[in-house]
Structure 1
């Protein structure tokens, strides 16, 4: 049964742009993708959870970085949305969503690289790196590239 794309809602999600002392951004190579697909920490917002709480929880779940090791610099003014490409519709999120609406947070990382641990209970990343935002844009999966560009544009005053 094919569901009408337009009738599906967007999945609420929170994302983190994590800057280190050198102005580089945390990115991880997705563990579940056979082709290189890097992304920043992000994930769904649970019922009753505020976007910032979700962002900090996702950061912890995906990187092992505790909330006391980051400080909030900014967040996106509005929700940023993307649609799943046709080949993923009905396959991810049990087919309940046509894409995601995301609230992004810019955090400064106050810890050390040794505070990062991607070997978590449910690992999302196989490797991680600090990258300039231009390199992050080049390595993201194509259907998320416009979202990342929009987020980086909004946070441009803090990105080098």
Structure 2
């Protein structure tokens, strides 16, 4: 039986419609949205607030959650190649994406956090997202997310 780890991801949009993307600390050129696993006993919204705070330094008072969609799934590459479990006791992740509007008085994004996930960040138009920034196993999910939230075909 395939097991998926619960995961949340933040689509943070500023007042001019630009979308926050962050470059992974350990993989230069790999850009993604703030995201992470849901801890035991934690609600999805609690996980979202924790992950956004830990990864980009924004508290829940700095953005408004305006919608969410769930059920986006991907398998880790090792599972696809026949290995049983890769990490966190799961074969892949099942993600819930949250569309968040950044408030006008929010501080700047800060990726220089204690446990650093990202090296840099940028604000882009949703249609500027490039699937080549992602590992192949995540691309289908990002295509769906960009279509579902921004009506953008990648």
Q: Say yes or no: TM over 0.5.
A: yes
Q: Is the 8 A contact 1:23 1:132 kept in 2?
A: yes
Counterpart position of 2:74: 82
C-alpha change, 1:145 and 1:110, in structure 2 (3 Å) is: same
The two structures have a TM-score, normalised by structure 2, of: 0.85
Q: Distance in 2 between matches of 1:32 and 1:92?
A: 18
Q: Distance in 2 between matches of 1:24 and 1:111?
A: 13
Q: What CA RMSD, in Å, does the superposition of the two structures yield over aligned residues?
A: 2.2
Q: Distance in 2 between matches of 1:144 and 1:15?
A: 13
Counterpart position of 2:14: 20
Runs of 4+ in 1 over 3 A off after TM superposition: 89-92, 111-114
Counterpart position of 1:36: 29
How many residues align? The count is 148
Deviation at 1:79, TM superposition (A): 1.5
The two structures have a TM-score, normalised by structure 1, of: 0.82
Q: Distance in 2 between matches of 1:100 and 1:36?
A: 22
Tell me, yes or no, if structure 1 residue 9 matches structure 2 residue 15: no
Matched residue SS, 1:146: helix
Deviation at 1:111, TM superposition (A): 4.4
Unaligned runs of 5+ in 2: none
Q: Of the candidates 97, 118, 142, which is equivalent to residue 136 of structure 2?
A: 142
Q: Distance in 2 between matches of 1:51 and 1:155?
A: 18
Q: Is the 8 A contact 1:15 1:102 kept in 2?
A: yes
Counterpart position of 2:43: 50
Unaligned runs of 5+ in 1: 1-6
Tell me, yes or no, if structure 1 residue 122 matches structure 2 residue 98: no
Deviation at 1:9, TM superposition (A): 0.9
C-alpha change, 1:143 and 1:155, in structure 2 (3 Å) is: same
Q: Distance in 1 between matches of 2:118 and 2:104?
A: 19
Q: Distance in 1 between matches of 2:113 and 2:72?
A: 27
C-alpha change, 1:90 and 1:124, in structure 2 (3 Å) is: farther
Q: Distance in 2 between matches of 1:91 and 1:32?
A: 22
